[in-house]
A = this chain, B = another copy of it.
């Protein structure tokens, strides 16, 4: 590839290429730990005289980063600068949009070639990400937060936390962000954290030869649940550098059961994550690990320009909250419709998924390149006019000159043709009232809001935080310009409050969003305003629909147990929803019967009945799990007659760890049993593996109260026992599916829905 600086090029074309080059401020980059290594390669300020071979080999393409202009980057001079501006130039061979690093060459004819390069790089990255998701791990597409939420509610869907998903999630997220989509890496990082935790919780991976013996202590659902909660918290910590926000996110959004011990565990996890993050930032301060080294713990340090606000200010802020709530609810509504439409396309097969992704990538590229194209140039603010150019790096702003002559800048390019993090920083920046015009903000808001909606459902790992924050911030800034005049509040503050209102309106989180925003901006004085706006937007949005993650969980058909019972449950009793036929075992059962039953049904829990000769009348002994039955059958602890063998006999052959929860998809199945005909005629004593204290409800217990019991204790099976004597000792088994409102309404269509 020919080098930019060695070729003849028109001033304008070179300028565009210069502009799509990344421009980051010294201490505020936001690339996060996991991403740092893969997303951008080599970022030490290398003078262009340095031979290319001296750069990080990982970067197949030669990458050059401009020096920080304000830190007097003397080493950054080009040998033959194209544009003579105070002797420095920021040209490089790389273009970055989103966080897409792709080589741009200068050509001596028209700009459209630059655009074609840009659009095709993006499309290629998008197609790769989509292919990974479509062919290797479909579970890695999307945010992952709904799946983690469902897992922590007790739903074990296949492969949502598998090692393959982890791999595709990380690589796909890097590719997706690089492709310049309007999507975030925060949701995927939560999923990544949970996947790592799940790997630890299942004792490593036997498939990939990574097993640790000591991890077997976590091989049970309870500890795995706690670990995954901690993993989600660590993900938020890594994504936003917000350890307290991570704890609160785990508590408020992710987990369904909260215990004091869990608080303490998530806190420890995020403390360690914060220390590691901090150490890495410290280590990278010297600039030897790319953009990451320049970052600080506070991503968007907003120095508060307000110390007081009046009732009038509160009124405008309340209006912002109301509008944020309305637009957030609308976002959720539209997202639901779009996802349902996409599911038809995605069902047609992997190629269609890739086509859809590439199509959205093309639209996004056209918007992010075309809209700045159509935007007129704005003169630099008066304070910079002396220098004759708008600073692109440093505290004072991050102006992009895209197609504009010196002394002017392109406002749209400064927020759209930029990294997401820099765009947020620009929108949040204070004291910059006129930096972005009303039409720019309106166009950007409309574009980001729509692109965020259409991007989420495509087959790449994609978070919702960034689109929501971007559209909220632009909307807030717009509102601040239109209605903020009577107030003394800064437009940057309006942008922050707008982001809060949109987050409240779509995700319906309160404390965690509040703390995450505080940890992002380090401005505690704003706390009451942020709280107010979150309260209002959540309240308004709750009138229309559910939070975006709840909505996705429901749309995906995951049987999520809600805290709020359906009103119809109050008029039913537990016995009403028991579905038959009930399959029970005797405490000492014929092996053949057990195997046949396991083959015939897919049930996972079976009541065990103590009968003659062990009890005078049939009574409920307890509950046995399919997985434990299989382990017991595998051990062949059989007797020829109907006698108790006792626990000692079983545990002579089996250790307690043999009954431990296997990794996903790795447990025994009934087809693994190869029993002889003789063995099939023998008996097996189920006493040792029976859970003797299953939770039971009487058949005439209110269904709503049974649901409370089921959910609060996080049960998998619940036995329904008869009220009157003289009947079989168990009426049926209730599982999570029996409490789903759709099922109950199907059974009793006429029951009052109140």
Q: Chain B residue with minimal CB distance to A526?
A: B297
- Chain A contacts with B in 239-290, Cβ cutoff 8 A: 243-244, 247-248, 251-252, 258-261, 263-264, 267-268, 270-271, 274-275, 277-278, 282, 285
In the complex, A665 has a CB within 8 A of chain B: no
A153 to chain B, nearest CB (A): 12
Q: In chain B, what residue has the closest Cβ to A704?
A: B693
Find the B residue at minimum CB distance from A703.
Answer: B693
State whether A708 touches B713 (Cβ < 8 A): yes
Find chain B residues with CB under 8 A from A296 CB: 307
Q: Is A270 in contact with B531, judged by CB distance below 8 angstroms?
A: yes
Interface residues of A in 450-466 (CB under 8 A from B): none
Of A477-485, A645-653, A721-729, the stretch lying at the interface with chain B is A721-729
Q: Give the distance in Å from the alpha carbon of A519 to the alpha carbon of B514 in the complex.
A: 13
Q: Does the CB pair B511–A263 fall under 8 Å?
A: yes
Q: Does A582 contact B (CB under 8 A)?
A: no
List of B residues within 8 angstroms of A702 by Cβ: 692-693
Of all A-B residue pairs in the complex, the 3 with the closest CB atoms, nearest first, are A271-B531, A693-B702, A725-B725
Given the interface pairs A260-B252, A705-B693, A709-B713, the reply to whether A267 lies near B511 with Cβ below 8 Å is: yes
Question: Across the interface, which residues of B come within 8 angstroms of A274, CB to CB?
Answer: 527-528, 531
Give the number of copies in the complex: 2
Please, which residue of chain B has its CB at the minimum distance from the CB of A713? B712
Instruction: Decide if B252 touches A528 in the complex (CB within 8 Å).
Output: no
Does A578 make an interface contact (CB < 8 A)?
A: no
Question: Do residues B263 and A524 form an inter-chain contact, with CB atoms below 8 A?
Answer: no
Smallest distance from the beta carbon of A50 to chain B beta carbons, Å? 28
Q: Mark A721-740, 1 if CB is under 8 A from B, else 0.
A: 10111100000000000000
A532 within 8 A of B: yes
Compute how far the CA of A264 lies from the CA of B244 in the bound complex, rounded to whole angstroms: 17
How many residues on the A side are at the interface (Cβ–Cβ under 8 A)? Answer: 70
Known contacts A615-B724, A693-B705; can you find 4 more A-B pairs with CB under 8 A? A248-B511, A271-B531, A271-B532, A696-B696
Complex CA distance for A528 and B279, rounded to whole angstroms:
10
Q: How far is the CB of A608 from chain B (nearest CB, A)?
A: 14
Contact yes or no, B725 A617, CB < 8 A? yes
Chain B residue nearest to A259 (CB atoms) is: B563
Highest count of chain B CB atoms <10 Å: which of A259, A267, A270, A701 = A267
Once bound together, how far apart are the Cα atoms of A726 and B726, in whole Å?
Answer: 9
Q: Which residues of B contact A619 (CB under 8 A)?
A: 723-725
Given A308-B285, A535-B267, A726-B725, answer yes or no on A243-B617 (Cβ-Cβ < 8 Å). no
Contact A263 B244 (CB under 8 A): no
Minimum CB–CB distance for A299 against chain B, Å: 11
Chain B nearest Cβ from A638, distance in angstroms: 27
| Segment 669-700 of A: residues with Cβ below 8 Å from B | 692-693, 695-698, 700
Q: A271-B531, A511-B263, A692-B702 are in contact. Are A298 and B244 (CB under 8 A)?
A: no
How distant is A509 from chain B, measured CB to nearest CB, in Å? 9
Contact A267-B531, Cβ < 8 Å, known A525-B297, A697-B696? yes
Partner of A524, one of B252, B260, B298, B538: B298
